Amino acid sequence: MKPIYFIVFIVVAVLQIGTPLKMIFDNEDILISGTAYKFKTRPVDPTDPFRGKYITLQFEMNSFEISDSDTAYVYGDEIRVYIENDDEGFAKVVQVSRKPLDIGSDYVIAKVTNTYSDEIMFELPFDRFYMEETKAYDAEKAYRDVNRNSKKNEVYAVVYVKDGASVLENVIIEGIPIQEYVE
């Protein structure tokens, strides 16, 4: 009977170690072989002190005009937001859909937040940038100040995208990674 307990113990231990390693591997794979996109940010209200040590990001790209009024989107729907780079090198929406499309563009999975007769609003999955707790407040303040001073294209997030998965690599302020900017 003891060998069965030992085998079960080994299986559980492998699963406990393997699961986080698989998650790390998947994110690293996206950073290595995914496509980098820059997402323009916009100002955000002051942070909630109970939410932790991260910067709350909001993006200019948060809606898309839909021409197919037959497709009814509702709050909470999971959609694919197909993106490509514009002339300035920033991400722009090409199409949104519930189903996979074969249009040759990368996509991220987003959630519908609101709909109008000809527009769908959505929330991107990478709205939090975690960082060292001693720098988080200064980073949030710098992010907010630069965004509010109407410095267009001066604050953006670099996000790698591959097969619908996305990894937020960094937040850039005035051409400098945010960790260096606040030092």
Give the pLDDT means over successive 10-residue stretches in the chain (183 positions). 86 93 89 84 58 75 76 84 89 88 87 86 87 78 76 79 88 86 81
- Note whether 4 and 85 are same-domain residues: no
Cα–Cα dist 28/84, whole Å: 22
Q: Is the domain of 84 the same as that of 72?
A: yes
Considering the domain architecture, whether residues 79 and 108 belong to the same structural domain is answered as yes
Residues 28 and 86 in one domain: no
d(CA 80, CA 25): 23
Could you tell me if 172 and 87 lie in one domain?
yes
Domain residue limits at 141: 34-181
Same domain, 28 and 90: no
19 and 84 belong to one structural domain: no
Residue 134: phi and psi, rounded to 5, are -75, -20
What is the SS3 assignment for 106?
strand
| Residue carrying structure tokens 């790698």 | 160
Residue 60: closest CA among 109, 108, 138, 127: 127
19 and 47 assigned to the same domain: no
Residue 93 sits in the same domain as residue 104: yes
Is the distance from CB of 169 to CB of 159 less than 8 angstroms? yes
Same domain, 71 and 145: yes
Predicted pLDDT at 152? 56
Residue where the block lists tokens 């998965």: 165
**Shared-domain flag, residues 25 and 47:** no
The pTM for the full model equals 0.73
Cβ proximity of 112 and 82 under 8 Å: no
pLDDT, position 76 = 87
Domain count, the chain: 2
* pLDDT given for residue 45 in this prediction: 47
Rg over alpha carbons for the chain, rounded to the nearest Å, is 20
Same domain, 27 and 77: no
